[in-house]
Chain A
């Protein structure tokens, strides 16, 4: 009956061949990273310098200045004293409980990641909205990026670039970029066709259409995407601390490995506070951008 065992056991490929295949894959990639790793690292060196400089800027700035800037941004975004008070209180608490430096590192990292994600994601989203073929190709790539367990793509990045800020940055951006791309695409596709036709009928060229009509009208959606990207970047920063990213993830990682419950909880809550603060600020800003849609009842 041994011949019919395939009926119950999946007729998988030969164990040795499988191992050989995996080894070939690993060796190939190891050769690649051995040959080009240094070059790629050099390529990213300016980025690393920028990250370090930006980190120093945040951690070195006086705490009251940072809080004042954040409160100012909260006011600008929402015109709500409640939000300003909440943001101020959250950051005062983070400082008071001794997590200021880590929180600033995380904030600098999030800022760079978000800016990078928007700089890359926005044009990609525009491209997707413009061509159905681009959409058909990019969508599955985004699906992979979002569902692949993040630990899995940490491996090749670390193999290639080692441990540090740049590989961490790449990992975070890869993980966090899909929402900006998706919502830029969606937002532009949802722009009223008649309004676009009007722009065409007045002789708008491609860029006047894009920057004068499509992006402004898609902005609420794009902002929702940026909001999601920030949230995902915050989540990923903890995981990326495993490969040497500075910030609140470091103490969390230490707490996990040493079973320091309080340390983990405090730093975890600090991440939550950051997330909520940034979420509320970007959402409030998004709503303020849409004021023109509301019908005035005065």
Chain B
């Protein structure tokens, strides 16, 4: 079974950590610091709201964001996911805790260092796009570069290049109001990518788009990411989107991380009823791979062969076509790593396993 992480969110040693979040607390209200100790002693979100009129947005978050991957933070509205990522570039100041990027504490940066961080290393895409309405599409894409002080013509030619990469060539001189929602978000993405920042924060960028456009945009993001390999932190409230894009997923509820791991581990083993409820209706055949349900090689050598990355859905097709009832599972190198039966596949596709 693939590595299922614990709810604390530490990564296996193999992945380089880009962003590390340690004991992060955020309380909204007139006197956040006053209630920090209460929260540490276990006072929950509801109680803090009812008794003290303060909002507990983030409660002891610990998280490792791996480098060069798409990391999804999922949660319903009010779960604290937008607030969490806004700590990464310090648009929001924490009540307590640390956020480290490449081992450097973001909270310790002075004003100039912070600005340099935002200009060169982190960029952001917003749910409501937040383009500058008085600038043309091209000028919007060039925004981060012109803020940085790049000469006008350089910024523009660079921006034109990024417009091409998000398939928006020809719209350079349009104003945002003249573009559709999907087109605006392409510009928003180009604007964020154009600064060449290693880290890309995406705050529900596709949530406001209709489903067809959303899928198109997800494809574009995956295509770009395959080439660019940025560290992407992607927020969504949509589990399908999370599973489609995320190489790792953290699920947030009421300001706490309730589960953290790769997509399959979350679908196969939801850590509690809340997550279970989420993944109940998921098409498991499209998420779970043979590799995560196989049993160890047992000496049997069935004729059929499946790659460990085969989705259950596709495994069924193979079983049906070959008329086989069991298959050998091989890894990318062609080495046998396990054994799987048709019954296992069917079982894994239908029954949500309560943890």
Binding-face segment, B33-41, B118-126, B206-214, B235-243: B118-126
B147 at the binding interface (Cβ < 8 Å): yes
B16 at the binding interface (Cβ < 8 Å): no
A203 near B119 with CB under 8 A, answer yes
B130-142 to A contact mask, C-beta < 8 Å, 1/0: 1111100000000
A276-298 to B contact mask, C-beta < 8 Å, 1/0: 00000000000000011111100
Closest residue of chain A to B127, judged by CB? Answer: A194
Closest residue of chain B to A294, judged by CB? Answer: B177
B133 near A292 with CB under 8 A, answer yes
A198 at the binding interface (Cβ < 8 Å): yes
A56 at the binding interface (Cβ < 8 Å): no
A217 near B133 with CB under 8 A, answer yes
Residues in A181-226 with C-beta less than 8 Å from chain B: 192, 194-195, 197-205, 208, 212-213, 216-217
* Residues of chain A within 8 A of B144, CB atoms compared: 202-203
Could you say which of A192, A195, A204, A291 contacts B147, with CB atoms under 8 Å apart? A204
B126 near A203 with CB under 8 A, answer no
Q: A200-B91, A201-B91 are in contact. Are A195 and B133 (CB under 8 A)?
A: yes
Residues in B138-191 with C-beta less than 8 Å from chain A: 143-144, 147-148, 174-178, 191
* Residues of chain A within 8 A of B132, CB atoms compared: 195, 198-199, 212-213, 217
Total interface residues on B, using CB and 8 Å?
Answer: 30
* Residues of chain B within 8 A of A205, CB atoms compared: 115
A201 near B123 with CB under 8 A, answer yes
Chain A interface bracket (under 10, 10 to 19, 20 to 34, 35 or more) = 20 to 34
What is the CB-to-nearest-CB distance from A214 to chain B, in angstroms, rounded to a whole number? 11
A202 near B119 with CB under 8 A, answer yes
Could you say which of A198, A204, A217, A294 contacts B124, with CB atoms under 8 Å apart? A198
A292 near B134 with CB under 8 A, answer yes
Closest residue of chain B to A296, judged by CB? Answer: B178
What is the CB-to-nearest-CB distance from A204 to chain B, in angstroms, rounded to a whole number? 5
B265 at the binding interface (Cβ < 8 Å): no
What is the CB-to-nearest-CB distance from A175 to chain B, in angstroms, rounded to a whole number? 32
B62 at the binding interface (Cβ < 8 Å): no
Q: A204-B147, A295-B177 are in contact. Are A195 and B130 (CB under 8 A)?
A: yes
Closest residue of chain A to B111, judged by CB? Answer: A205
Residues of A whose CB lies within 8 Å of any CB of B are: 192, 194-195, 197-205, 208, 212-213, 216-217, 291-296
24 A-B residue pairs with CB within 8 Å: A194-B126, A195-B131, A195-B133, A197-B126, A197-B130, A199-B143, A201-B89, A201-B123, A201-B201, A202-B118, A202-B147, A202-B191, A203-B115, A203-B120, A203-B144, A203-B147, A205-B115, A212-B147, A217-B132, A292-B133, A292-B176, A292-B177, A294-B177, A296-B178
- A194-B126, A200-B118, A296-B177 known; 5 other A-B pairs, CB under 8 Å? A197-B126, A201-B89, A202-B124, A203-B115, A295-B177
Residues of B whose CB lies within 8 Å of any CB of A are: 89, 91, 115-120, 122-124, 126, 128, 130-134, 143-144, 147-148, 174-178, 191, 195, 201
8 closest residue pairs by CB, A with B: A203-B119, A203-B118, A198-B130, A194-B130, A292-B175, A201-B124, A202-B144, A296-B178
